Structure 1
Amino acid sequence: MKVLLTAINAKYIHSSLAIRYIYKNCQDLSCDIEMLEVSINNHLIDIANQIFDARPDILGISCYIWNIELVKQLLPLVHRLLPNCKIICGGPEVSYATKEFMQDFPMVDFVVRGEGEKAFHDLLQALLDDKNNEEIKIAGIAKRNSDDTIDENIAVTVSDLDEIIFPYNDNDIENLKDKIIYYESSRGCPYSCKYCLSCATKGVRYRSLDKVFAELSYFIKHNVRQVKFVDRTFNADKKHYLPILEFIAKQDCRTNFHFEIVAHHIDDEIKAVLKKMPKGRVQFEIGIQSTNLKTLGQISRANPWEEMTNNIKSIMAYGNIHLHVDLIIGLPYEDITSFAKSFNDVYLLQADMLQVGFLKLLKGAAMNDLIQEHDYVYMPQAPYQVISNKYMDYATMRKLQIFVDVLELYYNAGRFKYTIINLIKQYNQDAYTFFADFAQYWQAKKLHLAPHAPKNLYVFLYDFIEQNSKIKDKEYIYNVLKFDALLTDKGKIKIDMLPWKEVDKKVTDDFYMSEKALAYINNYQFKSWRDLKKKFSIEVFAYDMNEAKSCQIKAKENAMIFAYEDDGVFYQEIKQGDINL
């Protein structure tokens, strides 16, 4: 018997933890099990062809919010291509309203409800034993009987995470070398936020620390680029997460570890570990969602704001941890004024990324009980995104969609770090109004209708600044924009409108050929002029860029050298006398 486990991921760089768990935990069965991973960007017929070419007797499909609409198209097609193949679906999108799903898709024989490692294993064993559907009675397995009636059964969880076999081997690591690797050390969440599926499962279960340490060591040994923990709240229990952070801090490796945490569970002992963490070793994602107390109360979320902000500012001050913070548009009681305040509150934290998403009414989440009370209208298909409610009409939501797009391009992408903070300073720290104005410009120019090359992003920002009467000190801002351009894309982007003022070629030649360059460039050796041009850039500024990083305007003609290395851009001001302007 041949079994094909299929995952349709949201992006090429993603990988599926779910089907690897199923695969590894069914290795004791006497059947041929294979995995197939594709992405939602693959054509429907291409996915169906790959399934057909494998000729499975049993097809397992992992169903999530990002792929369920494609899965719904795939199921009838696969059934036509392989009419005798048994189809088993699993995942959050079919663990709720399971009976309705199986009625809509009569080619589906079984649905795994909840956590599937044990349930899927037992189902495969029953099918290997040639049991008919009526004979199969397994917790967590919904089934279609011979008379086409459906036994929905109940969703299940795995009580002991140590029973689950580690889902990776050497071949997996090699095959996933260009992708994000997912890992979990716990399941469940101590909180009950109504917009999240974790509210449907009570309690938190943990994998033993000795197993976690051994498995993280495996990733480190294989030089994995990034390990993304899928723990819903990694720092829920200090006895569990502090030893993991201490372990990671002691390693000599390049691996980055990504965690979702709550900001108010960070005490002085944790801070001491984080402060000494090697730069780039960990990154945190912190869900704030809103700063409106009435909103937070309605969604059952606790945000002790003073404690959270103090902890976030401490982490940012260490300078060694990449930090994401999250907001959600469309929550109860959050009108545009309230959202603007939430956005400005969170912007002032100066996190590396400010991720703003739209509320989704997930199957199984408690938010569905609030639809009538708050007049929610949402997409009838996945991802079930809210399109209006009592507090925001769709016209407002549409403007905010463009607002989020501009935020992604100009804040989160990291190209315009110092320009943006200086522009918002000129908006009296009203970050919401700045991005709203920019989004209005973006929409008026119809820039939201097409993708744009990085160079054009500089042109659009320059044009927006030029025609914006709220922005003073434009010459200074253009110098900062030039500074940002030299810090990103290895200095290759130079738009004509900026005040470029390179040092005279003879002066730079004298600088590079003299011993003076040794003071600014580590291990400097002259190889060729072509090599110099590729690796270094010297530019003259009319303002002090070190002061500009903290939004201080100080007129000062000075030259700066930028060195482009594999691990980043290094820059410093060249002292008067070492170079003649």
Structure 2
Amino acid sequence: MKVVLSTLNAKYIHSSLALKYLKMACNIVNSEIVVKEYTINNDLLVILSDIYSEKPDIIGLSCYIWNIDMTLKLAGLLKKVLPKVVIILGGPEVSYDPLDVMKRNIGIDYVVQGEGEDTLRALLTALTSNTTIHTIEGLSFRQKEEIIVGKPQIIGIINTIPFPYRDSDMEQLKDKIIYYESARGCPFSCQYCLSSASSGVRFLNLDRVYKELEFFIRHNVRQVKFVDRTFNAKKEHYLPILRFLATQDCRTNFHFEIAVDLLDDEVLTFLKDVPVGRFQFEIGIQSTYEPTLNKISRHNNWSKIVENVTGIISNQNIHVHLDLIVGLPYEGYMQFEQSFNDVYQLGPHMLQIGFLKMLKGAGLRNIANECGYVFLDEAPYEVLSNDSLTYGEVRKLKIVEEVFNQVYNTGRFKYTLDFLIRLHGGNAFRFYHDLSTYWEEEQLHLVAHSNKSIFKYLLDFCSIHHEKEISVCQEFLKFDALMSEKGTIQPEFLSWNQDQWIEEKNEFWRNANVVRNYIPDYIFTTWRDLKKKYRIEVFSIDLLEYIKQPGKISYKKKPILFSYGQDNTQYQYIACDDFKKIEGRDYHAL
């Protein structure tokens, strides 16, 4: 028999870890197994044609909130063109209501519930040998006119599951995110998460983990994203893995979801010295409002979170990504504002504003009526309102999220945002709220934006709300532009001094002895090469003083030298004496 295992990923860069596990677990079955991955952006008829060309006897489809509607349509079409094919569904989106799914979709023959490696292997074995399926755990199936419903299964000893990757896989995965797990389960029971449907954590043997991580390093993978629910659930497991990875000679970045308040002094001391870019931490804060945290069965040690996040970020070697969720119980607009400001003041490299989804199998779905939840009937079941948050407020926060992603999470406006937020009395959320109001009034939420256009929007916003500071805002925008993307974004409306100070700049670059005070290995080659690597801009305010003493604005003309390395941008003042004085020019401000 020929088996096709398939799924529709959300994006091209994603890959399905589940299908790889299933294929390896079922290889012992007397069948040919082919894995076919698509995206939700592929044409449905193209996918249908491609799967049809495999002439499969059995098709397994992996179902998630982002693909369930399209997957069910695909399953129906496959049954039309291959009426004898056996269709099996699996994944979190069908594991908790298989009866409803099978009633509404008569072409579905089986639903594998929960962790599917053992269940699918047993099912394929039964189908290929014509033996009974009635004893298979974690399986829902049709028996004449009746649907027999099973229960989601959990594999107790995950070391029995084969490593899902092979050398032959890596070429086609070179442009995709590589997913990996060293453990399954979670020690917590947060009610918005599917982890609340089960308990306990199961770990892979450390020697196995080391060997498998060496596989990725050997293949020079750009990023490995651990899907462990809480990677640092057990110190005896996670710290040896971190120590192992820290000693490797590689370019690979490893992404972990962690509970940062579980980190102790030993771990924090170790993290200070890990190679830059080796680790990336995603930390779910979700809310800082205590009644909300209590309702969702989540405990945040806030003082420890502040201490640990601040310390990790200050080391400047680990990217820190923090998460908040809009729509949790009891957290109204004002409470979310406080949660946002609490988390924002930690200065994460990225802050994700997510919107609560009433996932099948999650505890919150059981108390939806109690909290007055209104949410989408179909996937992704996103919350529209509840007793504490109106739809209008959810809609407003959607625009805040879009604006925030454009200006903060891009990392392009670090100093401009700090300046504008100070003009808003230091209330970051109020600033983003006001910016989103401007955004909506200009209907910017309805159109796409170029990188340059965002600079213009911030300048226009400043001219409306802080007209007296518009010239200073321009200087911050210029500085941010030169600090990001090697200075390639230079919006023309920012009044660059490319045509000013030309003689002074040329004199500076011609004097190699002076330049070497700033660039020790400087050798003049060509003007074109010079422009690629460096930029001198004369600012009308003392920006570096502002950076050292935030909030202090001194009106002094200051030349700043930007040096563009392969991985970062450095900046430094050029001393007035080194920026040559030429007769007839006004230098009293320098």
TM-score of the pair, normalised by structure 1: 0.96
Report the Cα offset of residue 130 of structure 1.
Answer: 2.9
Alignment of 1:238-257 (within 5 A): 238-257=235-254
Q: Which of these residues, 477, 490, 493, is aligned with residue 497 of structure 1?
A: 493
One-letter amino acid of the structure 2 residue matched with residue 294 of structure 1? P
Match of 1:355 in 2: 352
In the alignment, structure 1 residue 216 sits paired with structure 2 residue 218? no
Which residue of structure 2 lines up, in the alignment, with residue 98 of structure 1? 98
Which residue, out of 432, 435, 459, partners 2:432? Answer: 435
Residue in 1 that maps onto 2:526? 528
Task: Name the aligned partner's letter for residue 494 of structure 1.
Answer: Q
**Structure 1 residues 501 and 135 mapped into 2: Cα distance closer, same or farther (>3 Å)?**
closer
Aligned to 1:557: 557
- Conserved 8 A contact 2:459-2:470: no
Structure 1 residue 497: deviation in Å? Answer: 2.8
Q: Per-residue displacement from partner, 1:439-475 (whole Å, max 9, x unpaired)?
A: 0000000000011111111111110111114x76332
Match of 2:457 in 1: 460
Residue 216 (structure 1) shift: 1.1
Taking only the aligned residue pairs, the percentage that are identical comes to: 47
Matching of residue 333 in structure 1 with residue 338 in structure 2: no
Structure 2 distance, partners of 1:522, 1:174, is 41
How do 1:25-104 residues align onto structure 2 when only pairs under 5 Å count? Answer: 25-104=25-104
Following TM superposition, where does structure 1 have runs of at least 4 consecutive aligned residues deviating by more than 4 angstroms? none
Once the two structures are superposed, the pairs formed by residues 168-317 of structure 1 within 5 Å of their partners are 168-317=165-314
Measure, in 1, the Cα distance between the counterparts of 2:137 and 2:226.
28
1:487 aligns with 2:483: yes
1:43 and 1:453 mapped to 2: Cα distance? 28
C-alpha distance in 1 between matches for 2:43 and 2:207: 43
The answer to whether the Cα contact below 8 Å between 1:540 and 1:560 also exists between their aligned partners in 2 is: yes
Q: Distance in 2 between matches of 1:6 and 1:519?
A: 60
The Cα shift of 1:136 comes to 4.5
TM-superposed deviation, 1:523: 4.1
1:194–1:365 CA contact under 8 A, matched in 2? yes
Contact between 1:285 and 1:324, CA under 8 Å: does it hold in 2?
Answer: yes
Deviation, structure 1 residue 416: 0.8
Aligned residue identity for 2:292: T
Q: Deviations over 1:222-241 (max 9, x none)?
A: 11100100000011111111
Kept in 2, the 8 Å contact 1:229–1:259? The answer is yes
Residue 157 in 1 paired to residue 148 in 2? no
**1:20-79 deviations in Å (ceiling 9; x for gaps):** 111112222222111111111112112212211222111111101111121122111111
In structure 1, list runs of 5 or more residues that go unmatched.
Answer: none
Aligned to 1:138: 136
Compute the TM-score of the two structures, normalised by the length of structure 2.
0.95
Please tell me whether the aligned partners of residues 507 and 580 of structure 2 are also in contact (alpha carbons under 8 angstroms). Answer: no
* Cα distance in 1 between the residues matched to 2:25 and 2:364: 34
Q: Deviation per CA, 1:508-548: give whole Å up to 9, x if none.
A: 33333331333434644433322222332211112233233
- Secondary structure (helix, strand or coil) at the match of 1:465 reads helix
**1:337 partner amino acid:** M
Pick closer, same or farther for the CA change 1:110–1:401 going to 2, 3 Å. Answer: same
Q: Distance in 2 between matches of 1:370 and 1:165?
A: 38
SS in 2 for 1:357: strand
- 2:541 equivalent in structure 1: 543
Q: Which stretch of the first structure deviates more once superposed, 553-562 or 521-530?
A: 521-530
Counterpart residue identity of residue 18, structure 1: A
Q: Out of 198-207 and 26-35, give the one that drifted further.
A: 26-35
- Between stretches 452-461 and 24-33, larger displacement belongs to 24-33
- CA distance in 1 between counterparts of 2:567 and 2:259 reads 30
- Per the alignment, residue 384 of structure 1 pairs with 381
Contact 2:64 2:92 in 1 (8 A): yes
Paired with 2:572 and 2:28, the residues of 1 have a C-alpha distance of 60
Q: Structure 2 counterpart of 1:422, which letter? A: F
User: 1:407: which partner in 2?
Assistant: 404
| C-alpha separation in 2, matches of 1:378 and 1:179 | 32
- Counterpart of 1:332 in structure 2: which amino acid? P
Q: 8 Å contact 1:479–1:499 — kept in the other structure?
A: no
Measured in 2, the distance between the counterparts of 1:522 and 1:99 equals 71
1:319-344 CA distances to partner (integer Å, 9 max, x unpaired)?
Answer: 11111111111111111111111111
